[in-house]
Structure 1
Amino acid sequence: MASVSGVGLSWSLKVSRMPSSVSSQSRTSSRRVVKMAVSVENKPKSFTLQKSEEAFSAAKELMPGGVNSPVRAFKSVGGQPVVMDSVKGAYMWDIDGNKYIDYVGSWGPAIIGHADEEVLAALAETMKKGTSFGAPCLLENVLAEMVISAVPSVEMVRFVNSGTEACMGAIRLARAFTRRPKIIKFEGCYHGHADPFLVKAGSGVATLGLPDSPGVPRGSTIDTLTSPYNDISTVQRLFEQHQGEIAAVILEPVVGNSGFIAPKPDFHNALCQITKENGALFIFDEVMTGFRLAYGGAQEYFGITPDLTTLGKIIGGGLPVGAYGGRRGIMEMVAPAGPMYQAGTLSGNPLAMTAGIKTLERLKQPGTYEYLNKITGDLIQGILDAGKKAGHELCGGYISGMFGFFFTEGPVYNFEDAKKSDTAKFARFYRGMLEQGVYFAPSQFEAGFTSLAHTPEDIQQTIAAAEKVFQRI
C-alpha cells in the first residue's frame, strides 16, 4: 500500500499486480486491476480519469504544479493530466485502468518498447552487484566502445546523467577549446534547462508560453546569440558581427522541441562550412535523434560529421543518462586528461550502462530502422490524410522513428512557422485521442516517437481513432 499525505488531504492507492508468471504477450493485452480507497468499479465502463484527478490534486500540494517536469501538467491541452501506473511494449496503463497506445516513449528512450524483457533481465543481474560504484566499472568501457563505433563524430566520450548535463559540458568544452565566449543556438531548439540555453528555447518553455525564465541572470545569456532555424543568412550575419568571439553553433539536427521540423537541404552543410571558416565548433545535439534516425544518429542519416555531439535518452535504455563526445583532440581538454572540469557522482553508473548496452544491441539488428521508417510513415500519412479529408489544415513529417504534425497549412521550417498552428484545435484533438486510447505528447510543440514494439495493427487503430476525432472537432 502506497500512501501520501498532503496539506489538508490524504489518499491511498493499492495496485493489484499480475503474477510474474504471466507472459509478456498477455501483459500487453490485459488491463491492470486498480483498487483505491474510493468506491470505483475495477474495470471502467467508459473512459474516466477519476483516480488520476484525485492523485493529481494531492500531487499539487506536494510538488510545484503537481509534476516534476512542466509539460506533464497538460496546461497547453487542458483537462486532467493522466497519472500512469505501468508500461509494457507499445502501451501504457493509467491508474484508472485505461490502456493507451503510447507515442511518447518516455520522450524518446523507449525505442525498443517499454519494459523490454531482455533489458529487465540484464538489469536484474546487474543490480545484484550494486546500483552505483562511484568508481570506474567495465560496463562504461563496453557502452563507450559501442557509441564510438556507431557515431561518426565521436572518438572519445564522457558519460553524464542527463541531456542537460551533456549540453552544458559540450558548451563549456567548446568555449575552453576555442577560448571564445559566445554561442549560437536556434529559436525553438531546446538543449536542456541550463541558464545559457533558456533563450527562445522551445519545448516546455514554448508550451507554457514563457519567453525565457525568471531566475536566469542577464550575464548567463548575454553570450547566447540566436537565429531562426533553417536560416543561414542570419547565422552568417552573426559571425560577421561577432568576429573571433563565437565558440560554437549548437542545434538539434532535426528539431523535436518545437514539434517535428526537418532541416532544409544543405542547411547542415552550410553550417559546417561557416563554422569551419570561422574557427568555431559545430555541435549536434542528438539527445533526441541519436540512435533514433539511424544507428549512427542524424549525422549518419544526413552524412554530416560535427565537431561535438551530445547524446541521451536511448543510450540509457530508459534510465537517466547523457553523454558528450567528439574528436580526440577536443575531448582531451576534459578533466582529468585536460583542464576543463566536469564531474558527476552517478555518471556511468552500472544500471544505465547495462540498459544502454542491451538497447543498442537490439537496435543493431538488421531491419530495425527500415521497420521504424515503415510504420512511422504509415502513421503520419494516415493522420494527415484523415485530417485533410475532414477539412482541417494540417502538415507534418517524419524520419525513421520520429514524427510530428501541426494544425496549420504549412510548410513549417522554424519556430515562427510552428507558432501559426491552431493550438486550441490541437488541444481538442489531443483530448479526443486520449479518450480513444491514444497517448501523444500533450503539446503541439513536441515530436512523437514510434518503437519496435508498435505493430501495424497499432498504427491502423491510431489512424481509425484519428478519423473519428477529426470528424468531431
Structure 2
Amino acid sequence: MNHQQSAALFARAMQIIPGGVNSPVRAFKSVGCDPIFIARAEGSRIYDADGNAYIDYVGSWGPMILGHCHPKVVEAIQQAAASGASFGAPTEKEIVLAEMVREAYPNIEKVRMVSSGTEATMSAIRLARGYTGRDKILKFDGCYHGHADSLLVKAGSGAATFGVPTSPGVPADFAKYTLTATYNDLAETRALVAANKGEIACIILEAIAGNMGCVAPKPGFLEGLRQLCNEEGIVLIVDEVMTGFRVAFGGAQERYGVRGDLVCLGKIIGGGLPVGAFGGKREIMERLSPEGGIYQAGTLSGNPLAMSAGIATLKLLKEEGFYARIEEKSAYFEKGMRQAATAAGVPTSLQRVGGMFCTYFQAEEVFNFADVKAETPKIFAKFFRTMLEEGINLAPSQYEAGFMSIAHSTADLDQTFEAAAKAFKEL
C-alpha cells in the first residue's frame, strides 16, 4: 500500500502536535511504523488519506458498534446541529438519554453527563471520597481508567504500551493514596483492604479488562469484590466506559449479575461523539453539586450533538436480536482466527467476551497483566504491520481490545482470516 499522504501529514503534525498525535497510542510507536491518517469511514471500513481501505476492528476504540456513519445516527447529529451545537444550558435530550441509561442499568438511579471517560472516572472517585470521607482508592494492575493523576499508577492501555506505569508529573503525594492489586486476585485485594482498614473510599475496576487486551473476571471475583465493599463500607465503582452497551445492553454488570455503587460510562452512549457519564445510587449521587457539596462541572456536558447521537444509537441497540447478531459474528471471527493461527503453527490465546476480543501470542490464557509474556508485543507488532498492509485495521497495541460491529459482513470476516493466515505464517 502507498502511504505517501499519511507520511506527509505525520511529518507536518510532528511540527505542531506533541508526537504528531493527540492521543499517544495513535503514534504507532509500539508497532514500529508511522500512523495512517484517516479521511473518512463507512460501515465496517475506514479510508486513509492515500485512499487505502481497511476493514476496521478499532471502531474509534469501541463506540462504533453500529459501524461508521450509520444513517440514523448521522441524521440525528445533522438535525441537532441545525438547531445549535451547544448552549451551556439544559435541554430535553439530556433527560431522554439519562432515562435510557437508567433503563439499561437498574443500579443507576441518577446520572451526570460529562464529555469523556476520563472525566467520568475522575468525578466518580471524587464523589466516592466525598461520600465516604476517606482518601485512599484501590485499583488493579493493567486497568486503565483515564489519565487523572491518581489513576496513572500501574495503568494499562497506552501507559502500558510505553512502559510508563506511573507517569512523570504525578506527585508522589497523589500516588500514595492509590493502592494497586492484581486483577482477578481476590485474596490479595482482601489483604490490601485489611491493611488499610477504614481508609479506602472506593475500589474501581474494569469489569472486563479491555486495556490489557481482553481479560474476563474469574468466577467469583466480581461477587467477592461486591461482598468486600459491602462489609467495609467501600464504594464499588464499575468502569464500563468500554463495556457499557458493548457486551450486553446492560453492559458487563448485566452479563455477570454484579452491580456497582457507581458506574462510569462512555464510548457507545455518545454514538461516536465525545461523551462520558457517571451514575449510581441516589444517596451517593445526591451528594453531588448542586444538590450536595461535592463539586463537578462541565460547560459542554450534555451538549445536544452528543446527546442526539447517543439517543439514536441506543434506540438501535434495543432492537430485538441485536446482541445475538453481534455474538454470532464475534464467534465466527474467533473460530476463523483460531484456525488461521493453528494452521500456521503459531501459539495464540484468543480471548473474547461478546463483541470484545484480543489475540495474545502465547498459548497460556491471560488472567491479569502479569500473565502477558514480555515478548508478546514484539511479535504482535510484526503481525499488526502485515495485517495493516493487507487492509485490516487493528488497534496499534497488544494491550488494547478489538471490537466487532454490526456492520461487519461474513465477507469482511473471511477477508480478515485470509490476511491473518498470511500474517501468522510470516511470524
TM superposition score category, shorter chain reference: over 0.9
Q: Find the aligned partners of 1:102 and 1:108 in 2 and give their Cα distance.
A: 11
Instruction: Give a deviation string over 1:254-273, Cα, whole Å, max 9, x none.
Output: 00101111111111000000
1:360 aligns with 2:360: no
Q: Find the aligned partners of 1:61 and 1:468 in 2 and give their Cα distance.
A: 36
Instruction: Give a deviation string over 1:68-121, Cα, whole Å, max 9, x none.
Output: 000000011011211111011110000111100000000001011111111111
The answer to which of 461-470 and 96-105 deviates more is 461-470
Asked if 2 retains the 8 angstrom alpha-carbon contact of 1:154 and 1:326, the reply is: yes
Aligned to 1:145: 99
Q: 2:255 aligns with which of 293, 301, 322?
A: 301
1:239 aligns with 2:201: no
1:134 aligns with 2:88: yes
- SS of 2:31 mapped into structure 1: coil
| Aligned-partner residue type, residue 425 of structure 1 | I
Aligned to 1:461: 415
1:384 aligns with 2:333: no
Aligned to 1:268: 222
- SS of 1:226 mapped into structure 2: strand
Asked if 1 retains the 8 angstrom alpha-carbon contact of 2:214 and 2:353, the reply is: no
Instruction: Give a deviation string over 1:348-404, Cα, whole Å, max 9, x none.
Output: 000000000000000000111111111111112211221122111110221111111
Instruction: Give a deviation string over 1:120-147, Cα, whole Å, max 9, x none.
Output: 1111111111000101000001000000
Asked if 2 retains the 8 angstrom alpha-carbon contact of 1:259 and 1:418, the reply is: no
1:425 aligns with 2:375: no
The answer to which of 207-216 and 246-255 deviates more is 207-216
1:120 aligns with 2:74: yes
| Aligned-partner residue type, residue 393 of structure 1 | P
- Please provide the CA RMSD for this pair: 0.9
More helix by share: 2
| Aligned-partner residue type, residue 170 of structure 1 | A
Q: 2:15 aligns with which of 55, 61, 77?
A: 61
Deviation of the 1:419 alpha carbon: 4.0
Deviation of the 1:410 alpha carbon: 1.4
Deviation of the 1:421 alpha carbon: 4.9
Alignment of 1:275-314 (within 5 A): 275-314=229-268
| Aligned-partner residue type, residue 220 of structure 2 | D
Instruction: Give a deviation string over 1:213-264, Cα, whole Å, max 9, x none.
Output: 1111011111100001000011100111001001111000000101111111
Q: In structure 1, list runs of 5 or more residues that go unmatched.
A: 1-46
- SS of 1:431 mapped into structure 2: helix
1:49 aligns with 2:3: yes
Alignment of 1:137-286 (within 5 A): 137-286=91-240
Instruction: Give a deviation string over 1:161-189, Cα, whole Å, max 9, x none.
Output: 00000001100011111111111100000
Aligned to 1:444: 398
Q: Find the aligned partners of 2:50 and 2:333 in 1 and give their Cα distance.
A: 27
Q: Find the aligned partners of 2:34 and 2:293 in 1 and give their Cα distance.
A: 49
| Aligned-partner residue type, residue 281 of structure 1 | V
1:101 aligns with 2:55: yes
Q: Find the aligned partners of 2:375 and 2:242 in 1 and give their Cα distance.
A: 23
Q: Find the aligned partners of 2:180 and 2:338 in 1 and give their Cα distance.
A: 32
Q: Find the aligned partners of 1:326 and 1:343 in 2 and give their Cα distance.
A: 17
Q: 1:373 aligns with which of 327, 333, 349?
A: 327
Asked if 1 retains the 8 angstrom alpha-carbon contact of 2:362 and 2:373, the reply is: no
Q: 2:366 aligns with which of 402, 409, 412?
A: 412
Q: Find the aligned partners of 1:123 and 1:386 in 2 and give their Cα distance.
A: 40
User: Aligned pairs, how many?
Assistant: 427
Q: Find the aligned partners of 1:168 and 1:175 in 2 and give their Cα distance.
A: 11
| Aligned-partner residue type, residue 136 of structure 1 | P
TM-score (norm 1): 0.89
| Aligned-partner residue type, residue 347 of structure 1 | S
Q: Find the aligned partners of 2:283 and 2:211 in 1 and give their Cα distance.
A: 31
- SS of 1:443 mapped into structure 2: coil
Deviation of the 1:465 alpha carbon: 1.0
Aligned to 1:85: 39
Asked if 2 retains the 8 angstrom alpha-carbon contact of 1:370 and 1:400, the reply is: no
| Aligned-partner residue type, residue 124 of structure 1 | Q
Q: Find the aligned partners of 2:286 and 2:274 in 1 and give their Cα distance.
A: 25
- SS of 2:83 mapped into structure 1: coil
Asked if 2 retains the 8 angstrom alpha-carbon contact of 1:49 and 1:80, the reply is: no
Q: Find the aligned partners of 1:398 and 1:372 in 2 and give their Cα distance.
A: 12
| Aligned-partner residue type, residue 279 of structure 1 | G
| Aligned-partner residue type, residue 217 of structure 2 | P
Q: Find the aligned partners of 1:59 and 1:70 in 2 and give their Cα distance.
A: 13
Q: Find the aligned partners of 1:340 and 1:449 in 2 and give their Cα distance.
A: 36
Asked if 2 retains the 8 angstrom alpha-carbon contact of 1:179 and 1:247, the reply is: yes
Higher relative contact order (CA 8 A, sep 6+): 2
| Aligned-partner residue type, residue 215 of structure 1 | G
Q: Find the aligned partners of 1:318 and 1:311 in 2 and give their Cα distance.
A: 13
